[in-house]
Structure 1
Amino acid sequence: MAAFARGKAQRLARADGSRKGGLDEGAAAVAVVQLLNARDPFCTTSSCSGRLVLLQGGAADINNCEIQKKNCTWLMVTHEMCVKDDVMAALEKATGDVVLKFEPFVLHVQCQELQDAQLLHSVAVDSGFRNSGITVGRGGKIMMAVRSTHCLEVPLSHKGKLMVSEEYIEFLIHVANQKMEENIRRIDRFYKSLESALQTAAGANDSPSEGMERSRSVYVHRRKRKTVHEQSVCTSPKDQHEELKSEDDIENNLDIFADITI
């Protein structure tokens, strides 16, 4: 615990190494980072509130992802909804291959214990970030990634030449703005659910046995089925089928993804 606290203090004291050099705009995203860092078991390592980007790579690099990544240029980036005029103005500066991308909220958090990561993972999935996952490194480092799948990536120009119509660009901007709106709603939902879950967990610490039982009920989904002989009342085959179907639907809706590597 002491080692985690020291590492957290050192990391938070470092200068921001991102391209921007600070937290993205967006009250909810900033609040999530501050909420987690104010709790001893969590330390955020990187985040992006969600953004719309016009990304240019060299035309000769179209088949080489590594080189294209090194030589890419941001013609436009915004963490808010955008308008057609801004996109068209940025495209006028294009000399290579340009891609319009929407990237949703992403957050990486180092967690002190696996149960801390599990709590965060459960809240993230329930809030709509269904691509979230937990990784445990060989040294025992526990990382939780909050991710979503509602991305957008569309090529617009090749060697500086616009390959689509302005009408299509206007349509893409509308789609991207809708995704940004949904992204903001998910972040807000995530913050409120996380705040509630952390308060509940803190209260449960006063009663270890109760806290353990709550933790299990939040993250571990146990399928409990009773046969007709075990039930105190008789049920028809149709009723049994509906009950099993309902439980299967609940399990599918959890959609928990946890990629753990030892």
Structure 2
Amino acid sequence: MAAFPQRKAQRLRRADGSRKGALDEGVVAVVQLLNGRAQFCTTSSCSGRLVLAQGRPADVNGGEIAKGNCTWLMVTHELCSKGDVMTALEKATGDVVLKFEPFVLHVLCQELRDAQLLHSVAVDSGFRNSGITVGRGGKIMMAVRSTHCLEVPLSHKGKLMVSEEYVEFLVHVANRKMEENIRRIDRFYKRLELALKTASSPSEEVKKNSSVYVRRRKRKTVQETDVHTSPQDRNEELEPEDDTESNLDIFAEITI
């Protein structure tokens, strides 16, 4: 993508448009790692959050709080307590749901192979709902996502519809999901760091295997052409052939 460097520079100059106006602490390391590489540009992220969202009464058919006019009574990117939730619910005047939303990250990628590498790392780290989209103009976007979610209605028209004991249970469940989310982010960062290093600097084992491959190809070729070549020909160094099929094996099971 010829215009990728310019597109990345323009994107990184933009002001943060999120409600918070800054990166979540839990995702700073991942964002810096990716933006430090020429082939990646992060466009949006959230480290994971627990939210009490209030909206208009639920639609009879849709069963969801309308996204328009939705307000947050509470939001945290860390573990919370039953007391935090109950205090926030005291301000409820409409329909309120308790939500846990896991880590999400959108990354603009220079080449398809860059997105595939990122996708492989994300899936291996537990973010199995991740995917790649390619726009008409060749824009390649990789989304790191998971189905590690929770959404439960708690009040209707300001009236709490469940017991405090149940609220305590939900908070426990949400906190466990947050803990798992934090572990997955840490795993994703470590595996991404390793994958990027490996991609830019092949390991000694890879170099060794490549060398063995060249020698085997050389011996085989010399044996097959022994009756047609002179001693001088046999001493010429043979160049390794491109093994495109082998190079693409790592992406064979990736679905876009």
TM-score, length of structure 1 as denominator length? 0.79
Partner of 1:132: 130
Q: Aligned to 2:201, what secondary structure does the other structure show? A: helix
Partner of 1:36: 34
Q: Of residues 156, 174, 178 in structure 2, which corresponds to 1:158?
A: 156
> What's the offset of the Cα at 1:217?
3.0
Q: More deviation in 17-26 or 209-218? A: 209-218
Partner of 2:251: 219
> What's the offset of the Cα at 1:30?
1.1
> What's the offset of the Cα at 1:59?
2.2
Larger radius of gyration: 2
In the alignment, the residues of structure 2 paired with residue 36 and residue 177 of structure 1 have an alpha-carbon distance, to the nearest angstrom, of 28
Matched to 1:96, the amino acid is: G
In the alignment, the residues of structure 2 paired with residue 167 and residue 66 of structure 1 have an alpha-carbon distance, to the nearest angstrom, of 24
> What's the offset of the Cα at 1:214?
6.9
| Structure 1 unaligned residues grouped into runs of 5+ | 222-255
Greater relative contact order (CA < 8 Å, ≥ 6 in sequence): 1
- Check the 8 A contact 2:49/2:101 in 1, yes or no: yes
> What's the offset of the Cα at 1:218?
2.1
Partner of 1:239: none
Determine whether 1:169 maps to 2:163: no
Partner of 1:7: 7
Partner of 1:17: 17
> What's the offset of the Cα at 1:68?
1.7
- Check the 8 A contact 1:53/1:78 in 2, yes or no: yes
Q: Of residues 73, 76, 93 in structure 1, which corresponds to 2:74?
A: 76
- Check the 8 A contact 1:204/1:210 in 2, yes or no: no
- Between Structure 1 and Structure 2, how many residues are aligned? 222
In the alignment, the residues of structure 1 paired with residue 160 and residue 250 of structure 2 have an alpha-carbon distance, to the nearest angstrom, of 50
Alignment RMSD, CA only?
2.5
> What's the offset of the Cα at 1:257?
4.6
TM-score, length of structure 2 as denominator length? 0.80
- Check the 8 A contact 2:65/2:95 in 1, yes or no: no
> What's the offset of the Cα at 1:58?
1.5
> What's the offset of the Cα at 1:107?
0.2
Shift of the 3–165 alpha-carbon distance from structure 1 to 2, 3 Å rule, reads: same
Matched to 2:92, the amino acid is: A
> What's the offset of the Cα at 1:219?
1.6
Matched to 2:199, the amino acid is: A
Shift of the 212–5 alpha-carbon distance from structure 1 to 2, 3 Å rule, reads: farther
